[in-house]
């Protein structure tokens, strides 16, 4: 492109010099005043054409994206600027990266549909899973079959191009083995707990997952503020109160829920360390919105299963469940605040 522009400019200068030496500018053909007027007019027109060549052309299309140099500031990503035309025809520039806070946020209707479908799937899964376990009390076989069907379903989505297929390499498969193993342990253990105790009780115990996350992460060197440990304490107190007042208490059901927590926590920790080079943040939902939605999802599932299976709930049991779930929400807020302060410190 640079060579082409240089060639065009050189040809223009050559054309001007040839015009100056041609008969249009010879004093024998025109008098001096006419010759000067013609020269000034010709030079002005060619000077204008040269300025148009040296300047970048303005493309008269709306919504054209042009990549500029890296902006000054903390961001290391190139800034995308959108050029559009106003009513007067003048180009108007807007920073796409600066507008990402507006455009990247999904609409409220779309967000409500996403969370509603998410809640609906969880409710249906927990209800039918419990009904199947009541008729077919083999949680290990049922959980393994569910994972197998999920794998077949994803293969269908990838082969039919409904869902984009990820780039599968040998390092990626090796990095995926650990999280897949821990996810399998967590899912099968949860099904074992579902088969022994009420679904609501299993979800109350599973709300203590942040406790294991903080403990294991602290052993690996992470440091948490006092607000995180305070939220963990409320989760422990709430779960303890729910356990001692649970009507359908079963030691195997409690153990299954706790092992499920350990499996999913190790999956998350291992995924963060092994898959950090293979994953990208593509979710437009903020961490605050997701934490609130995840907490409310557990509340909706617990209430739905209590109503469907008519499980008896004592007042202290309900209070303990509420404290544990509220502690989970406090933990989400505390960790989000911790991540925000860490990012500001790095800047």
Q: Is residue 98 part of a domain?
A: no
Quick check: 14 pLDDT over 50?
no
Identify whether 115 is part of a domain: no
As a three-state string, the secondary structure of the chain is: CHHHHHHHHHHHHHHHHHHHCCHHHCCCCCCHHHHHHHHHHHHHHHHHHHHHHHCCCCCCCCCEEEECCCCCCCCCCCCEEEEEECCCCCEEEEECCCCHHHHCCCCHHHHHHHHHHHHHHHHHHHHHHHHHHHHCCCHHHHHHHHHHHHHHHHHHHHHCCCCCCCCCCHHHHHHHHHHHHHHHHHHHHHHHHHHHCCHHHHHHHHCCHHHHHHHHHHHCCCCCCHHHHHHHHHHHHHHHHHHHCCCCCCHHHHHHHHHHHHHHHHHHHHHHHHCCCCCCCCCCCCHHHHHHHHHHHHHHHHHHHHHHHCCCCCHHHHHHHHHHHHHHHHHHHHHHHHHHHHHHHHC
Which comes out higher in pLDDT, residue 96 or 156? 156
pLDDT in tens, 53-66: 444 444 443 333 33
Domain membership of residue 262 (yes or no) is: yes
Q: How many CA atoms lie within 13 A of 341 on its CB side?
A: 9
Task: Give the highest mean pLDDT range of 77-81, 258-262, 310-314.
Answer: 258-262
Show the CA angle centred on residue 48, arms to residues 47 and 51, nearest 5°. Answer: 85
Q: At residue 49, does pLDDT exceed 70?
A: no
Is 112 a member of any domain? Answer: no
| Mean pLDDT, residues 146-159 | 93
Spatial separation of the C-alpha atoms in residues 232 and 210, rounded to whole Å = 7
Q: What is the mean pLDDT of residues 319-323?
A: 92
In-domain check, residue 3: no
Asked if residue 254 is part of any domain, the answer here is: yes
> What is the pLDDT, as a whole number, of residue 239?
93
Terminal-residue alpha carbon distance, the chain: 38
**Other CB atoms closer than 10 Å to residue 345's CB: what's the count?**
7
Beta-strand pair 64-67/91-95: unpaired
Which range of residues forms the domain containing residue 223? 129-341
Residue 57 maps to a domain: no
User: How confident is the model at residue 30, as a pLDDT?
Assistant: 40
* Tally of structural domains, the chain: 1
d(CA 295, CA 321): 12
pLDDT at residue number 13: 42
- Look at residue 93 in the predicted model and tell me its pLDDT: 45
Q: Which residues touch 213 (CB under 8 Å, ≥6 apart)?
A: 265, 268, 269
Q: What's CA 116's distance to the chain center, in Å?
A: 18
Q: Report residue 167's pLDDT band, with 50, 70 and 90 as the boundaries.
A: confident
Q: Which two tokens stand for residue 65?
A: 């994206």
- Two structure tokens written together for 345: 């410190």
pTM reported for the whole predicted model: 0.64
Q: What is the pLDDT of residues 202-222, one digit of tens each?
A: 999 999 999 998 999 899 888
Q: What is the pLDDT of residue 129?
A: 95
Stronger pLDDT, 37 or 8, i.e. the higher one: 37
Q: Is residue 335 part of a domain?
A: yes
| Residue 209 CB burial class (10 angstroms; 0-12, 13-18, ≥19) | buried
How far out from the chain centre does Cα 182 lie? 22
């Amino acid at each position: 492109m640079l060579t082409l522009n240089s060639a065009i400019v050189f040809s223009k200068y050559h054309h001007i010099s040839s015009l100056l030496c041609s008969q249009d500018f010879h004093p024998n053909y025109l008098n001096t005043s006419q010759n000067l007027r013609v020269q000034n007019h010709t030079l002005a027109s060619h000077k204008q054409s040269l300025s148009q060549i040296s300047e970048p052309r303005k493309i008269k299309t709306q919504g054209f994206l042009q990549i500029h140099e890296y902006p000054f500031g903390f961001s290391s990503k190139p800034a995308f600027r959108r050029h559009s035309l106003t009513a007067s025809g003048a180009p108007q520039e807007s920073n796409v990266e600066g507008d990402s806070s507006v455009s990247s946020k999904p609409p409220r209707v779309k967000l409500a549909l996403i969370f509603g479908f998410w809640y609906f799937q969880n409710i249906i899964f927990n209800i039918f899973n419990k009904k199947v376990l009541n008729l077919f009390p083999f949680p290990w076989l049922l959980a393994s079959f569910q994972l197998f069907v999920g794998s077949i379903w994803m293969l269908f989505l990838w082969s039919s191009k409904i869902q984009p297929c990820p780039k599968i390499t040998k390092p990626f498969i090796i990095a995926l083995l650990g999280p897949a193993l821990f996810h399998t342990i967590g899912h099968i253990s949860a099904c074992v707990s579902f088969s022994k105790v009420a679904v609501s009780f299993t979800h109350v115990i599973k709300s203590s997952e942040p406790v294991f996350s903080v403990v294991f992460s602290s052993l690996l060197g992470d440091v948490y503020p006092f607000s995180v440990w305070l939220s963990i304490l409320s989760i422990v107190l709430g779960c303890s109160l729910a356990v001692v007042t649970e009507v359908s208490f079963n030691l195997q059901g409690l153990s299954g829920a706790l092992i499920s927590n350990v499996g999913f926590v190790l999956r998350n920790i291992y995924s963060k360390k092994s898959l950090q080079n293979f994953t990208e943040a593509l979710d437009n939902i903020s961490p605050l919105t997701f934490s609130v939605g995840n907490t409310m999802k557990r509340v909706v599932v617990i209430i739905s299963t209590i109503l469907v299976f008519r499980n008896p709930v004592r007042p202290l049991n309900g209070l303990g469940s509420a404290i544990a779930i509220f502690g989970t929400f406090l933990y989400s807020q505390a960790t989000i605040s911790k991540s925000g302060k860490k990012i500001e410190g790095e800047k």
